[in-house]
Chains A and B, each alone.
Chain A
Amino acid sequence: MSGDGIRLLTPEGERVTHPEYGLDAGPEELRALYRDMALARRFDAEGVTLQRQGELGLWPSLLGQEAAQVGSVRALADGDHVFPSYREHAVALCRGLDPLVLLRLFRGVDHGAWDPDAHGFHLYTLVIGSQTLHATGYACGVAKDGSDAAVLAYFGDGATSQGDVAEAFNFAAVYDAPVVFFCQNNQWAISEPNARQTRVPLHQRAQGYGFPGVRVDGNDVLAVLAVTRAALEHVRSGRGPFLVEAFTYRMGAHTTSDDPTRYRDSAEVESWRAKDPLLRLERLLRREELADDAFFAEVTAEGEALAVRVREGVRSMPSPAPEELFDHVYAEAHGEVDRERAEFAAYQASFAEEG
């Protein structure tokens, strides 16, 4: 095992075995994993472009973390529930969320308004780490309901310094909550390196709370899938939570407001470029002749079509009517809100026509 964690596929695209974790994936599944990652990467690049064109307020790029996200989300069953942070775009796509619904949040058209139950995908959480508590509470509820559903909570290495994450770990442990804590350790909490987050490898934190934790090569989609499947099986069996540390790298900026060249070394970035998650799966597919040029061309074309749909959809996204701000204060009609809506409408109507 390398320092990068449990690995089933080397950066050169060669399969390796692991004594505890294995994956029996056929050609179809391998191609699907590649397609998921490629579409997510293309969608993500379009997010960056749209922000640079003034169409989005902000975009946190997932570039480099495709395998960590796709491998983990593809381990889930339909009834499972995901609690993402704000960078889990590949997870969102794989859960079936319309990318344009996701982009409404980053355009400021709404505050994140998809139905979490529709795809078992909770709203993005921009507060660092607090979703691990929500996930723990949800998982406790799932267990009380007697359901065999599991919960997957995503967070980053920076979040591990938050008290919320420590509380979530402890609560989940003592109540045997069926939750997998999935930490994408992308080495940088904005401009703070990993060495400023922890003295011990992050996956070892779980020991102190009394549940298992492992590190997986986060750029190896096969290993991530295998490890997350095992973790989900563990939590479903009533044995309490499980921590997966996906060791990966944020190739881009923290968000479009950030300039990573100011705090990190280009040599470091290049060393991780050699471990690219898509490239190693492509090498495997080609080496074992599981996919041909036509397949890769088709995936590229599909990505371009997705980019065009996203681009046009964002540019034509209408701004919400001002009155809509009253619509989701309460689930049902509420007298005080109705009064305020009427007062606001009267105020709006009090203006002369613009001309």
Chain B
Amino acid sequence: MTDNPQRYREFPMPDVGEGLQDAEIIRWLVATGDRVTDGQVVCEVETAKAAVELPIPYDGVVHELRFPEGTTVDVGTPIITVDTGTGTATEEPPRRTPVLVGYGAAPGPTARRIRRRPGTPATATAPPQLPLAKPPVRKFARDLGVDLAVVVPTGPRGDVTREDVRAAAQHPSPTEQLPLSDQPAPAPDETRVPVTGVRRATARAMVASAFTAPHVTEFVTVDVTRTMKLVRRLKGHPDMAGLRVGPLLLAARAFLVAVRRNPEVNASWDEERQEIVLKHRVNLGVAAATPRGLLVPAIEDADRLTLPELAAALGELTTAAREGRTPPAALRGSTVTLTNIGVFGVDTGTPILNPGESAILALGTIGPRPWVHRGKVVPRQVTTLALSFDHRLVDGDLGSRVLADTAALLHDPRLLLTRA
């Protein structure tokens, strides 16, 4: 351990149980500037299993306490820096610190070692992508003369449902309305689809957003078992009678609370005037796959709604979008956006910001996964949240707080009472 003496030594949060992921710092027993000796207890931490004291493994002077009391810190994350007074003082870049005999390592960029021998060629010919649909739906589409390839799927596994086919039949896509003569003669092995309407608007918006706002996307995987339990309970609750209660509702609520707690994220960038525009109202955009394509209708002042009001607004919004009757006014004015890509069964993604906004949260699929809970690997309901933000006005600090807050609220929805 003394092979490469460094002046500033970091003490990473140890795994004081067997396979714990994090621990909460309850109390610091030393302060910056205090002299410490190897083996001296410097703080008390509490894990899912026990409250324990941590002894520092260095002699020296406390240089920095990295986290305040009350912070839950991942195992492997440095919590205190000690100036040992000897060795080289050069500031080292943060490095990946193994947790010794604990479990796992500090989170950081993972570089998988590269196999020297070439394996099978990576570029295989992709099979033709057939739209997913159950046989009766295929027959239904055939009967109505609807091409499944142009139907926007909304099924739980990204499959085309009977409703999708019906909607596509009622709102034929612009493709079919164009006179054939306007189209260039397609090559025999391809189909050319003119870009119009929502598709064109979406494309323009995405290009404008992706190439003006420097995007950063962060991810957090979180145990949402308690949220799922709460969803089940709320479903039977008289206050929520007749309302659609699902994980999206609580995700929306958690995100809104996180935005309220970090209001600087509810803002936009004014390039022309070189100003940051802080929005006083929180209008929640909800990305919706509709027969017309991707739409982002908004719920105005969503942060001020009660849970039943929010559920009603979400229900109305999704129904209207699905039926293709979203009022144009609802398509403007969102300030932050939530996209539920989990309905397609995918884990997560890197969402592109709705133009004029600074944050978009993607909710991944929720399902049972092996998870370390109270020191044991047990099946837990787990999801991954992804937050993209505009790095011109949202720093990693702010973006991370919004994401971490949202995750914390979904991990323990009781916090919705204390933090709202």
Contact = CB atoms under 8 A, between A and B. Distances in A.
A307 B55 CA distance: 14
Interface stretch (B12-20, B317-325, B365-373): B12-20
B113 A354 contact: yes
Interface size class of B (residues with CB under 8 A): 20 to 34
Nearest to B38: A311
Given A54-B14, A257-B18, A350 B115 contact: yes
Contact of A351 (B16, B53, B102, B113): B113
A58 B17 CA distance: 8
Contacts, number: 74
Contacts of B14: 51-54
A350 B115 CA distance: 6
Contact of B52 (A55, A259, A262): A259
B114 interface: yes
A256 interface: yes
B420 to A, nearest CB: 31
Interface in B51-71: 51-57
Interface string A37-52: 0000000001001011
A107 interface: yes
Q: Which of A46, A54, A55, A311 has the most CB of B within 10 A?
A: A54
Q: Which of B12, B102, B375 has the most CB of A within 10 A?
A: B102
A54 B102 contact: yes
A259 B54 contact: no
Given A107-B101, A257-B18, A315-B1, A53 B55 contact: yes
Contacts of B117: 350
Interface string B113-125: 1111100000000
Interface string A287-326: 0000000000000000000010001000110000000000
Nearest to A255: B18
Nearest to B75: A54
Contacts of A108: 101
Contacts of A53: 11, 14, 54-57
Contacts of A261: 51
A261 B49 CA distance: 11
A22 interface: no
B18 A57 contact: yes
A259 B49 contact: yes
Given A54-B101, A257-B17, A352 B54 contact: no
A49 B16 contact: no
B50 interface: yes
Contacts of A315: 1, 57
Contact of A52 (B18, B54, B101, B375): B54
B242 interface: no
Nearest to A349: B116
Q: Which of A55, A253, A257, A354 has the most CB of B within 10 A?
A: A257
14 contacts: A51-B14, A51-B16, A52-B53, A52-B54, A52-B55, A53-B57, A55-B57, A56-B101, A57-B18, A57-B102, A107-B101, A261-B51, A350-B117, A351-B113
Interface of A: 46, 49, 51-58, 107-108, 253, 256-259, 261-262, 307, 311, 315-316, 350-352, 354
Interface of B: 1-2, 11-12, 14-18, 38-39, 49-57, 99-102, 111, 113-117, 375
